Amino acid sequence: MNKYIKKSAALLVVIGLAATATACSNNDATVANYKGGKITQSQYYNKMKKSQAGQSTLANMIISKTLEQQYGKKVSQKKVNKQYNTYKKQYGTQFSSVLQQNGMTASTFKDNLKTSLLSEAALKDIKKITPAQESKAWKSYQPKVTVQHILVAKKATAEQVIKDLEAGQSFKSLAAKYSTDTSTKKNAGKLPVFDSTDTSLDSTFKTAAFKLKTGEYTKTPVKTQYGYHVIKMIKHPSKGSFKSHKKEIDKQIYASMAQDQTTMQSVISIVLKRADVHIKDTYLKNANILSSYVSSSSSSSSK
């Protein structure tokens, strides 16, 4: 899947088609039948709980439920829907097929987004940013810049664009003529403003852009996963003060922490400890399905 849907991060879990680990009724209802026989809830449950898919589903459910219990007030459905609509708008007519290719429906994708937002809320509550982290981030921080770019498939084409710029042709006319970025070519290749905390742009692209002064353009093609870029800096302001950028820097730090598996495991470990989780099914208790987050002794204990 595209990196934008994947970003949502280290703890984003796909709730698949595996059975939920709910207790069976006394009547042991039938899940499916066939000529001469049937499959009951208990048979299905006993089969699923011994599978990796079934165990993963239960672990994911426990994490989602405990996050919801502790941080649900910080993540409204309106916030989930807003993020969902952002992705839907980004992918346009391909959105449904992208979800389908990754085994998701609109509902399960929203569940994933909510789990991700809940985990971010837990991260910010449990892990506090230190002055040392802010100082380190500030050293590499770049303020919001405005650039134009021309994206082409071949290096030779990008080199020709650079020659045309050196010959005096306008960036606007060359963007309209050459650029394969249909979303910007009609607007002289202009991109929305971004700073070093931006996660939507390729890191190589950003690095090349930040080296430019206002009015300068790249003299060699910039290669990314999308092709070859020629970048022109429209506005590169001075860095300013740390205080004026503290909000963006803290956001960058938390985004980096959210992508660190060890950090997020420790966050979820605390969430689970606070929730006092006890697995009652003997087989699942002995399977230590939460061992990645808590010690086997605490994950397998029972009241």
Q: What is the pLDDT of residues 157-183, one digit of tens each?
A: 999 999 999 999 999 999 999 999 999
Please, which residues have CB within 8 angstroms of residue 280's CB and are 6 or more apart in sequence?
Answer: 302
Is 3's pLDDT higher than 80?
no
The pLDDT of residue 168 is 96
Grade residue 126 by pLDDT with cuts at 50, 70 and 90.
Answer: very high
Q: Residue 188 is encoded by which pair of tokens?
A: 């002289």
137 Cα distance to chain centroid: 21
The pLDDT value given to residue 2: 47
Whether 16 shows a pLDDT value over 90: the answer reads no
- Residue 25 pLDDT grade (very low, low, confident, very high; cuts 50, 70, 90): very low
Across residues 209-225, what is the average pLDDT?
97
pLDDT in the model for residue 26: 53
pLDDT above 90 (res 263): yes
Domain residue spans of the chain? 3-126+260-299, 146-235
Is it the case that residue 17 has pLDDT exceeding 80?
A: no
Range in 23-27, 138-142, 292-296 the model is least confident about: 23-27
In the sheet with 222-224, reading across from the earlier edge strand, the strands are 146-152, 227-235, 222-224
**Which residues, listed in sequence order, are joined to residue 232 by a DSSP beta bridge?**
148, 217
Greater confidence (200 vs 124) lies with: 124
Taking all residues of the chain, what is their mean pLDDT, rounded to a whole number? 88
Q: How many CA atoms lie within 13 A of 25 on its CB side?
A: 6
Here the tokens at position 13 are 């879990």
The whole-number average pLDDT for the span 100-126 is 95
Single-letter residue type at 289: I
- CA dist 159 and 74 (Å) reads 50
- In 3D, which of 119, 99, 96 has the Cα closest to residue 108? 99
- Architecture category of domain 146-235 in CATH: Roll (3.10)
